[in-house]
Amino acid sequence: MTSNIGQHMNREGLVRAGLIRLLELKDTDIRILTLEQARDAVDKGIHVGGAFSAVVPLVSLYYGGFMNLDVVAPTRVGQDLFVLSKGHAVASMASIYADLGYFDRAVLKNSRSAQSILNGHPGPILPGVHVSTGPLGQGVLLAQGFGLAGRRGIRFDVFCLAGDGELQEGLPWEAIMLSPHKRLDNLCLIVDNNEGQLDNPRQLILPMRGLDKRLASFGWKVFDLDGRQYGPIVEALWQFKYGPRDGRPTAIISHTTKGWGSFSSFMVGHKVEIPDPLAEQEIEAQRRLRDQRSAEFLQFWTALRESSEAKEAQREIAAFAEAMNFELPRGTGESAEIVARSQPPRTRRAAVRDKRIRYDPAQLPVLDAKKEYSASAIITQAMKVFARDPRVVSVDADLSSTSGLEQGVGWVDAERALNVGIAEANMMAIGEAFAALGYNAWVSTFCPFFDWKVLRRIAIGYQERLEAIAHKDGWLAKGHGLDLTFLATAPNFETKTNGATHMGNDDALVFGEIGHLKIVDVSCPNQLMGLMKWIMEGDRGLLYVRIMRSPSAVLYPNDFRFEFGKAYALRESGKDRATILSSGRGVHEALAAAKLLEKKEIAVGVVDMPSIDREKIMELSSSEKLIVLAEQNNGIIWSALGKLLIRGKNPVRTDNLLAINTLSEEGTPMFIHSATYEQLLDQFGLGAEQIAASILKRLQHSA
């Protein structure tokens, strides 16, 4: 006769024992779903080694009662968040999400195909996934950004699963250093320490020894444990979620091996195509294991007797089973079994987000047209007004004084004016995390210092959000894009004497090839004010805004309204023999050049093109006038014109074009070195006198 285990364990011990058995049972269900996912994939494969080693921590996290989740409304503020930094484990995560009801199980079939929303790495096109990950190490930064947001207003916890191999990247250490400093004890990092990497699934190419001591030395609370068992991980998660907090973020180092939990040695590989016979063999083996674990649980279940401790434990265990979609048997015969229910999709389309920032326009500064203003001073004054709306947040890296953000936002709320020191990648990811939660986020550093790899991943996640919004069955709605402004200081010739690495003459062209990134080159304090008001209307997406460092004259009226994709004629007449196109401080030189030519009775127009106006470019390039593109960079407008000429259907003239920029004489990109502003103008022929002379020479030659 079965013993009464309730006589030998207290309620907490009984519940823990029952929970562990249920988690082990769920483990096999998730592995079966993952294997079926590989079998039905367009390429018959998954990143199986890392996916399987991640099952124990993922199942513990999602089914162990440690996360406050709202599957119906995943964007509801206040619920806990998860970031899968090791994006290769997306197959296991997707199996769990389908089981929980974030989406239909049919999504698991034909994955990574053109018709599927389930890719080889996770992104917001998949319901319940808030950010795109895959480029290794960046998920740790994002989780820390969510953690910072989770310390404000309605508080929540953040969990992140990373691999040991990706911690060889430098990026995650920016967050690992900052998180203890910010006392993010709502952040839990789980490291899937599977000792495998890329081409060698059984050994890290660069061993990560003493990871527990490294993390502890930075101020983390560390649990170093066997990740092949549920007991240790459940205990560590319990300590994080329900134990005392002392300001330290938590790291759980889960020691395991690639492919753990599989049967065939073939399953240790990085990315493998699983033959159908092997997939069926593995699935059958998992089913046998499930039967065994089901029997073990039922034996435990029936052993609970009618003591008060056991009855209370049974109720709690039954609640865990219900949350795991298990139906416990009512009888105790040999035919009794634990049935896994198939959860229908529960996630609903999110409510529309109102992204408009509320402020009093009368409080914004009014500029004196006779004075000069620095962009950073304008941003500071404006942000003192805009940041009264609690949805405005800023993050600076490398000289916040050049942006004005910290001084402005911090004037209202210092907690929303973050400064991460010299960690640009961390800055960008923190901004993205806030933007994903509905904030109007601004991040800033020097023009060339934005991380291309991070910027590209952010743009991919933004695109997936747009796709989820546009799709008839998508889980996101209008207002759930990203409002994220990359404030790039010291563009063009603004850096002056700081050296080639700091010169912003090529950044816009490099970043201009990143999809969905809107580039704006600001020429005037009032233009900047109008741009900021435009951004505060919300739903403006990803903006790369280049601002001047030194003070400049006011070119536009105080009531200026900015429109993206629109050029502005600052000087124009019916007698113009030439038109100068420029942006940024180059516009001021262009206006000065036009005045010099006016003295020679030569009428010249000036067009400011802060963002590319395709219609204006085509209009000018097809005219009889000389078109001069005078740019203190490698030719942002010049490059756009070339693309438009190739794509355009209408015939245009090319003999009336004159480009003056920082490209070499052969038209190849180059880097510029230290010099004063005046020396740089002279070196590249971009001063007012040089521009005027070039126009005069060209007009005389054509005559």
pLDDT in tens, 623-670: 889 999 999 999 999 999 988 888 876 666 778 899 999 999 899 999
Q: How confident is the model at residue 144 (pLDDT cuts 50, 70, 90)?
A: very high
Which pLDDT value is given to residue 153?
Answer: 85
Pairing of strands 339-340, 81-84: unpaired
The conformation of residue 200, written as its DSSP 8-state character, comes to: B
Q: Answer for the pair 461, 123: CB distance below 8 angstroms, yes or no.
A: yes
88's CB contacts (< 8 A; 6+ apart) are 47, 50, 51, 120, 121, 134, 163, 270, 271
Pick the more confident residue, 153 or 650.
Answer: 153
pLDDT(177) > 60: yes
Collapsing DSSP to helix, strand or coil, 151 comes out as: coil
Q: Judging by beta carbons within 10 Å of its beta carbon (0-12, 13-18, 19+), is residue 431 exposed, middle or buried?
A: buried
C-alpha distances out from residue 156 to 150, 153, 184, 237, 515, Å: 5, 9, 11, 15, 32
Task: Give the class (CATH, top level) of 361-553.
Answer: alpha beta
11's CB contacts (< 8 A; 6+ apart) are 309, 310, 312, 313, 316
Q: For all residues of the chain together, what is the average pLDDT?
A: 93
Q: Answer for the pair 616, 567: CB distance below 8 angstroms, yes or no.
A: yes
Q: Answer for the pair 275, 214: CB distance below 8 angstroms, yes or no.
A: no
Q: Answer for the pair 532, 386: CB distance below 8 angstroms, yes or no.
A: yes
Which tens digit of pLDDT belongs to each residue from 12-41? 999 999 999 999 999 999 999 999 999 998
pLDDT(3) > 60: no
- Nearest-angstrom CA–CA distance, 300 and 329: 13
pLDDT(316) > 80: yes
- Tokens standing for residue 615: 């219609």
Helix (H) or strand (E) holding 605: strand 604-608
Q: What percent of the chain has pLDDT over 70?
A: 96
Q: How confident is the model at residue 702 (pLDDT cuts 50, 70, 90)?
A: confident
C-alpha distances out from residue 364 to 295, 380, 440, Å: 70, 11, 18
Backbone angles phi, psi at 23, to 5 degrees: -65, -40
pLDDT(103) > 70: yes
Q: Answer for the pair 557, 619: CB distance below 8 angstroms, yes or no.
A: no
Helix (H) or strand (E) holding 579: strand 578-582
Pick the more confident residue, 76 or 647.
Answer: 76
Q: Answer for the pair 156, 81: CB distance below 8 angstroms, yes or no.
A: yes
- Nearest-angstrom CA–CA distance, 537 and 540: 8
- Nearest-angstrom CA–CA distance, 245 and 259: 34
pLDDT(72) > 90: yes
Give CATH 3.40.50.970 domain extents, the chain. Answer: 5-340, 361-553
CB neighbours (10 Å) of residue 530? 21
Which pLDDT value is given to residue 492?
Answer: 95
Instruction: Decide if domain 5-340 falls under CATH 3.40.50.970.
Output: yes
The conformation of residue 117, written as its DSSP 8-state character, comes to: S
Collapsing DSSP to helix, strand or coil, 571 comes out as: strand
Q: Answer for the pair 140, 395: CB distance below 8 angstroms, yes or no.
A: no
Whether pTM > 0.75 for this model: the answer is yes
Collapsing DSSP to helix, strand or coil, 651 comes out as: coil
Q: How many residues does the chain have?
A: 703
Q: Answer for the pair 223, 88: CB distance below 8 angstroms, yes or no.
A: no
643's CB contacts (< 8 A; 6+ apart) are none
Which pLDDT value is given to residue 2?
Answer: 46
Residues forming a β-bridge with 489: 446, 547
Pick the more confident residue, 585 or 701.
Answer: 585
> For the ranges 91-95, 149-153, 219-223, 699-703, which has the lowest average pLDDT?
699-703
- Tokens standing for residue 170: 């430098």
Give CATH 3.40.50.920 domain extents, the chain. Answer: 568-702
Q: How confident is the model at residue 1 (pLDDT cuts 50, 70, 90)?
A: very low
Which pLDDT value is given to residue 199?
Answer: 62
Which pLDDT value is given to residue 646?
Answer: 81
Task: Give the class (CATH, top level) of 568-702.
Answer: alpha beta
pLDDT(100) > 90: yes
Which pLDDT value is given to residue 332?
Answer: 55
pLDDT(331) > 80: no
> For the ranges 9-13, 76-80, 103-107, 330-334, which has the lowest average pLDDT?
330-334
Which pLDDT value is given to residue 524?
Answer: 98
Which pLDDT value is given to residue 311?
Answer: 84
Which tens digit of pLDDT belongs to each residue from 457-512? 999 999 999 999 999 999 999 999 999 999 999 999 998 888 898 999 999 999 99
Nearest alpha-carbon partner for 691 in 603, 621, 631, 616: 631
Q: What percent of the chain has pLDDT over 90?
A: 81
- Nearest-angstrom CA–CA distance, 270 and 272: 6
Q: Judging by beta carbons within 10 Å of its beta carbon (0-12, 13-18, 19+), is residue 597 exposed, middle or buried?
A: buried
Q: How confident is the model at residue 206 (pLDDT cuts 50, 70, 90)?
A: confident
pLDDT(226) > 60: yes
- Nearest-angstrom CA–CA distance, 366 and 370: 12
Q: How confident is the model at residue 334 (pLDDT cuts 50, 70, 90)?
A: low
- Nearest-angstrom CA–CA distance, 57 and 142: 19
Within 40-189, residue ranges assigned H as helices are 48-53, 55-63, 90-100, 138-149, 171-181
Q: What is the residue whose two structure tokens read 């400049």?
A: 552
Collapsing DSSP to helix, strand or coil, 568 comes out as: strand
> For the ranges 45-59, 424-438, 580-594, which has the lowest average pLDDT?
45-59
pLDDT(306) > 70: no
